[in-house]
């Protein structure tokens, strides 16, 4: 599995921790930055890079961290085939992977302690998509994207 990971200045510390854990699990990590928590940066930059990588199929999944996680999710969801959501618990990450095929996990770098977020990342990367009736629903999302002229890559 290949995971692209990015943050703004609010998520630099946790991004590094998550990347280290992912690599310890044999997961390839594409780190798009930021790397300096003292230098403010704009969340759409990292979200755009991760969203593009996942949309093109150059990364299987993505993880984004900003102040609330919401700005990252809004930006990443602009890319065809990206299903990004803010998750604040392992059960939420598991459910969104199983039922919604979540492929970009968005996290708050300021509202949670770093140690509380690693189980969310673990649930996100270890939980498979359930398929079945859930695939039918994702197909409907793809139809909407295509009706808007968006090319949705095949997962």
Q: What would the pLDDT profile of 118-144 be if each residue is shown by its tens digit?
A: 999 999 999 999 999 999 999 999 999
Which listed residue (9, 10, 41, 66) is catalytic? 66
pLDDT tens column, 30-50:
999 898 888 888 999 999 999
pLDDT tens column, 49-65:
999 999 999 999 999 99
CA angle 145, 127, 108 (to 5 degrees): 75
Burial bucket for residue 155 (CB in 10 Å: 0-12, 13-18, 19+): middle
pLDDT for residue 130:
95
C-alpha–C-alpha distance, residues 46 and 34, integer Å: 7
pLDDT for residue 153:
60
7: β partners: 65
Q: How many Å is the Cα radius of gyration of the chain?
A: 14
pTM of the model: 0.94
Cβ within 8 Å of residue 49, ≥6 positions away: 4, 6, 32, 33
Mean of the per-residue pLDDT values of the chain: 93
Beta carbons within 10 angstroms of residue 3's beta carbon: 28
C-alpha–C-alpha distance, residues 51 and 80, integer Å: 9
Query: What is the domain partition of the chain in residue ranges?
Result: 2-147
Which listed residue (99, 106, 134, 150) is catalytic? 99
C-alpha–C-alpha distance, residues 48 and 144, integer Å: 21
Q: What is the mean pLDDT of residues 73-86?
A: 97
pLDDT band at 112, cuts 50/70/90? confident
28: β partners: 2
Joined tokens for residue 46: 């990292």
User: For the structural domain made of 2-147, what CATH number should be given?
Assistant: 3.40.1400.10
Residues of the chain with pLDDT > 90, as a percent, come to: 81
pLDDT band at 113, cuts 50/70/90? confident
pLDDT band at 152, cuts 50/70/90? low
Catalytic residue check, 106: no
Measure CA of the first residue to CA of the last residue in the chain; give whole Å.
13
Q: What is the mean pLDDT of residues 20-25?
A: 97
C-alpha–C-alpha distance, residues 29 and 70, integer Å: 22
pLDDT for residue 150:
77
Catalytic residue check, 134: no
């Amino acid at each position: 599995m290949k995971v692209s990971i990015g943050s703004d200045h609010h998520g630099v510390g946790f991004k590094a921790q998550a990347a280290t854990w992912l690599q310890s699990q044999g997961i390839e990590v594409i780190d798009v930055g930021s790397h300096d928590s003292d230098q403010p940066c704009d969340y759409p930059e990292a979200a755009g890079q991760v969203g593009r990588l996942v949309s093109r199929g150059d990364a299987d999944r993505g993880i984004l961290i900003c102040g609330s996680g919401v700005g990252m999710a809004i930006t990443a969801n602009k890319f065809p085939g990206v299903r990004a959501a803010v998750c604040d618990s392992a059960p939420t990450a598991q459910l969104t992977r199983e039922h919604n095929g979540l492929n970009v996990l968005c996290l708050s770098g300021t509202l949670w302690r770093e140690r509380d977020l690693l189980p969310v990342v673990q649930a996100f990367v270890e939980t498979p998509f359930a398929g079945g009736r859930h695939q039918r629903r994702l197909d409907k999302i793809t139809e909407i994207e295509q009706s808007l002229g968006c090319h949705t890559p095949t997962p």
